[in-house]
Amino acid sequence: MNTSVELPQAAPRARVAWVDSARCLAMFFIMWLHVGQAPGWLGHPVGGGICLFFVLAGYFMPREPERAAKRALYMGLAWVLWTLISFGLYRALAPDRPWSWQQVIGYGVAAYNAPLWFLRNLCIYQLIIAALSTVRLLPRCNWLLLAVLAGATYTNNLAQHECLRFDWLAAVLLGYSLKSISLQRIEQWLRDNVWYIICAIAILLLQREFYMQFARAEGLKYYRLSLPLVHVSQALILCLTALGLSRWLPRLNGWMATAGGCMMFTYVTHSLLYAPIYHFDLPRWCGFAYAAAGIALLTLLYRVLSARFPRTMRALTLR
């Protein structure tokens, strides 16, 4: 009886293995990049990973404006708590180092816990969508607003840590617009059209690379364009990889799904784990191993802390 009553509320929050596995892949590439000395091609999956985080955040956010705003404010509270934790740990480990409020709140690449920009921006994006829902622009004008945001021209001169960007707002809105489609239908569509999707992504990425080379050769001022469609295609690659792993390497996929299930904790804390690498000049050449070991260690830490401090961990990880 209880299960049948709670299903309508629990369904949007249900764990889906391939989604959590895709989250784990995204975390791995981002953490590898953050360790340092990563290969040049890593920027592509990192852009797709960040896009995937935002799309999934939009997909799982409540449709009711009041609940969406409440969750956004709850996310802001988690951001404040993580800020205090990060600052406290930094001052305890490096009391003589200079600090600034920008570094404390996660602003800029020199922040004590740079991934905090994700929580801060996502809180603002969800408040924007909740406001648009309140004035009934959403869901009535979902796709029109998405087209406007996707067509907004911007450059990469401003880092994602330091500004609110149209592409990430478009990613959240894309996820929100897809809420009417179940994850089961999305998974089936990906499986049925995998080769068509791969071909379309390859053509898109080749076209973008051609444009970039042409723009550099011609000395165009805004050659560093990054279209939301490219980020979405890179996020799709991560999803297709996770689906492939679920079929061909189910044990590995199961471990990755477990790690992806605590993505928020791992993503927000990994820069604290890597602090010795940044501040004490430990070797960075083994970034691949650092990223894999970091995910495993933080997943274990999350499970231990969740068992001992369940309420605190729920507040920090938006459970």
Q: What's the pLDDT at 213?
A: 75
Q: Out of 35-49, 78-92, 134-148, 153-167, which region has the weakest mean confidence (pLDDT)?
A: 153-167
Residue ranges of the domains in the chain?
A: 16-317
More confident residue, 18 or 224: 18
Chain center to CA of 224: 22
Rounded Cα distance between 84 and 93, Å, is 14
In the chain, the amino acid numbered 256 is: M
Q: For the segment 241-271, what is each residue's pLDDT rounded down to a tens digit? A: 999 999 999 999 999 999 999 999 999 999 8
223: confidence class by pLDDT, cuts 50, 70, 90: very low
More confident residue, 195 or 109: 195
Q: What's the pLDDT at 177?
A: 93
222: confidence class by pLDDT, cuts 50, 70, 90: very low
- Integer CA distances (angstroms), 169 to 45, 174, 246, in order: 19, 9, 30
Q: For the segment 69-117, what is each residue's pLDDT rounded down to a tens digit? A: 999 999 999 999 999 998 888 888 777 777 888 888 877 767 788 888 8
| H or E element in which residue 319 lies | none
Looking up tokens 């449709």 gives 63
Rounded to an integer, the average pLDDT of 162-180 is 87
Q: What's the pLDDT at 70?
A: 93
pLDDT value at 1 more than 50: no
Q: What's the pLDDT at 173?
A: 94
Q: What's the pLDDT at 96?
A: 79
- Measured at the CA of 80, the angle between CA 75 and CA 82, to 5 degrees, comes to 90
Rounded to an integer, the average pLDDT of 48-53 is 93
Q: How many CB atoms lie within 10 A of CB 256?
A: 26
Chain mean pLDDT for the chain? 84
